[in-house]
Amino acid sequence: MPKIIAIDLDGTTLNQASLITEKTRHVLQTAQHAGHQVVIATGRPYRMSQQFYTQLGLTEPMLNLNGAIVHIPHQHWALEKHFLVKRDLAFEINAQKAEFGATFVACENKETFFLDNLSHYDAAFFAGTANENNLLTPQNLIGDPASIMLGTTPENLQPLAQRLQTLYGSDVDVRTWGGPFSILEMTAKGVQKAHGLEYLSSVLNFKAQDVVAFGDEHNDVEMLAWAGWGVAMANGTPEAQKAANDVTTLANSQDGLAEYLLDYLKLRSILDEQAV
């Protein structure tokens, strides 16, 4: 029975160097050749994930910004979906950034980003280049964004998340990033990876029971719980592992996803035949 294999990137498909190993690439492509559909479901914007889509040779839709954007790269797809935040909210928050204790405010959409001040631009963090067109102004941000992102200090991260949820929780959900960054992200109410994956599955005529999802962090929890079979990584957070049906025996740095799929999809015999 064909499956949708939904894969998070950071901490899951990518190793500690933020790369897809040759083994993981080979296993995922073997799964595709066996009739399964591999779908990237990432919190990253498209510009910071398209290289992995290309490396894996994918043709299926993908989820960016935690399900706020569902699209097929490199083509017009009539069923492309964007779940957006009201534009005015971005400017309201930006006007209060000092009061909120925010170090920067940014907005993301499918193609680019907008930043409150170019002095906050970090090429490694935002990717690409930035100029006056990337400033967060009414003249530049003419449509509703897919997400609003705030940087802050580690000690202010949770208090600010709670404050923003109290103030704007009727319209948006507020999440904190995992890892070393003190970042909050606001997306339209109810939008997260499970929401985007449910939409994608419906248009591809798959049911939740036909989805196998892999993740490691708090932004994967709903997806792992929603999927017919949710798999958390050995290096995953306790919340992710609790939400999942199973946990890999190996971490992302050890090709844990690839090893799990070899057994779960019974791909070892196929690879053995290819090696002969």
pLDDT over 70 at 177, yes or no: yes
Range 58-79 average pLDDT: 95
Task: Provide the domain limits for residue 39.
Answer: 4-82+192-275
pLDDT digits (tens, 9 = 90+) for 238-276: 999 999 999 999 999 999 999 999 999 998 876 655 553
Structure tokens at 162: 């709670």
Q: How confident is the model at residue 3, as a pLDDT?
A: 96
DSSP state of 78: T
What whole-number distance in Å separates Cα of residue 37 and Cα of residue 203?
Answer: 13
Q: How confident is the model at residue 1, as a pLDDT?
A: 86
pTM over 0.85: yes
Task: Say yes or no: 198 and 269 in one domain.
Answer: yes
Domain boundary residue, one of 157, 188, 219: 188
pLDDT digits (tens, 9 = 90+) for 80-131: 999 999 999 999 999 999 999 999 999 999 989 999 999 888 887 888 789 9
Task: Say yes or no: 148 and 230 in one domain.
Answer: no
Q: Which residue reads 């309201």 in tokens?
A: 92
Task: Say yes or no: 255 and 205 in one domain.
Answer: yes
Task: Say yes or no: 72 and 196 in one domain.
Answer: yes
Pick the closest to residue 42 from 219, 200, 231 (CA basis): 219
Domain boundary residue, one of 138, 153, 188: 188
Task: Say yes or no: 126 and 182 in one domain.
Answer: yes
Range 144-169 average pLDDT: 95
Task: Say yes or no: 13 and 148 in one domain.
Answer: no
The share of the chain scoring above pLDDT 90, in percent, equals 88
Domain boundary residue, one of 135, 156, 188: 188
Task: Say yes or no: 77 and 199 in one domain.
Answer: yes
Return all residues near 224 (Cβ < 8 A) that are at least 6 apart: 213, 215, 230, 231, 232, 240, 243, 244, 245
Task: Say yes or no: 183 and 268 in one domain.
Answer: no
pLDDT digits (tens, 9 = 90+) for 209-235: 999 999 999 999 999 999 999 999 999
Task: Say yes or no: 209 and 77 in one domain.
Answer: yes
Burial 62-87 (b: 16+ CB within 10 A, else e): bbbbbbbbbbbbeeeeeeebbbbbeb
* Domain containing residue 97: CATH number: 3.30.1240.10
Task: Say yes or no: 249 and 266 in one domain.
Answer: yes
Q: How confident is the model at residue 276, as a pLDDT?
A: 34
Task: Say yes or no: 182 and 244 in one domain.
Answer: no
What whole-number distance in Å separates Cα of residue 221 and Cα of residue 230?
Answer: 9
* Domain containing residue 242: CATH number: 3.40.50.1000
Q: How confident is the model at residue 176, as a pLDDT?
A: 85
Question: How many structural domains is the chain composed of?
Answer: 2
Task: Say yes or no: 105 and 173 in one domain.
Answer: yes
| DSSP H stretches of helix in 169-235 | 193-203, 221-226
